[in-house]
Structure 1
């Protein structure tokens, strides 16, 4: 299945600052089936305090380190909506190694995500 989607997906590793920027800028919580912007720690504490996640920084830490409460945190978050990167894609028909956009970017994924914020 992964080989089928490989020409359409870019993946890699992002740093802690990028995860923080994603959550603060594009992060929404799923509360009672509704998409609620994360503006304070009270929403996080009310929904995730039984899992020992009480603030937004705990959410960011669980996402970045894939901690023991990762599953609960990712179910709490609404999927991120990103826009196309500033400056456009390099080439959507070539692999990243060949100068394109899709494939394993490893540590260069941070650059792509920063351009998409």
Structure 2
């Protein structure tokens, strides 16, 4: 789902996903966002997939009409809760969300050649909770 530079998606962390992330690790950065970060992303950069069209999430009716009957997600806060808690309808909620188009981070990247966990402190790899600071710079 990541087809452009500075795009972002949510993933459910499990063993197969971690194996896939190891393969693409030199090209992506990832981590564990807080509820505040998830809320800011969805409110500011959230777009839904309605009839294969990219529709801004400006109204709860858009979410309710698309996800309401099948999943019980009727509004923005229900969607945020389902994504953050990785609830039983996470897959439907995540597929409804269009990948987030973020801007380039303010003050740029530090060292693109090195991984985040290396001694030199690069930009790709697992940032864990520090992904929140990067998302705030890009949001």
TM-score by length of 2: 0.81
From 71, 74, 92, the equivalent of 2:112 is 92
Deviations 1:52-95 (A, max 9, x none): 00000010011111111101101111111111111100111011
Alignment of 1:115 with 2:132, yes or no, is: no
Number of residue equivalences:
117
Deviation at 1:36, TM superposition (A): 0.6
Structure 2 residue runs of 5 or longer lacking an equivalent are: 1-19
Deviations 1:97-116 (A, max 9, x none): 23110111111010011111
Q: Which runs of 4+ in 1 moved over 4 A?
A: none
Corresponding residue for residue 88 of structure 2: 68
Corresponding residue for residue 67 of structure 2: 48
CA distance in 1, matches of 2:36, 2:49: 23
TM-score by length of 1: 0.95
